[in-house]
Amino acid sequence: MNRVEDVMSGEVYFCHLDDTLNAAAQIMWERDCGCVPVVDDQRRVVGIMTDRDACMAAYTQGKALKELLVSAICAREVQTCKLGESLAAAEEKMAHAQIRRLPVTDQDGRLIGMLSLSDLAHHFKTSVAGPRGALGSRNISTVLEAVSRPRAVAEQASIAT
Partner 1 sequence: MRVREAMTPNVHACERIGTLERAAQIMWERDCGSVPIVSGARMVVGVVTDRDITMACYIQGKRPSEIGVMEVMSRVVHACEPGTPIEDVLGTSRGDRRRCLLERRRVIHRGGIES
Q: Which residues bind partner 1 (CB under 8 A)?
A: 22, 25-26, 28-29, 34, 51-52, 54-56, 58-60, 62-66, 150-152
CB of 51 to partner 1, least distance (A): 4
The 10 Å Cβ neighbour count of residue 20 is: 18
Closer by beta carbon to partner 1, 55 or else 129:
55
**Whether 117 contacts 100, CB under 8 Å:** yes
Closer by beta carbon to partner 1, 55 or else 75:
55
CB of 130 to partner 1, least distance (A): 16
CB of 156 to partner 1, least distance (A): 14
CB of 26 to partner 1, least distance (A): 6
Closer by beta carbon to partner 1, 22 or else 79:
22
Closer by beta carbon to partner 1, 4 or else 25:
25
Return contacts of 130-137, CB within 8 angstroms, 24+ apart: 133/87, 134/1, 134/2, 135/86, 135/87, 135/88, 135/91, 136/88, 137/88, 137/91, 137/92
**Whether 89 contacts 81, CB under 8 Å:** yes
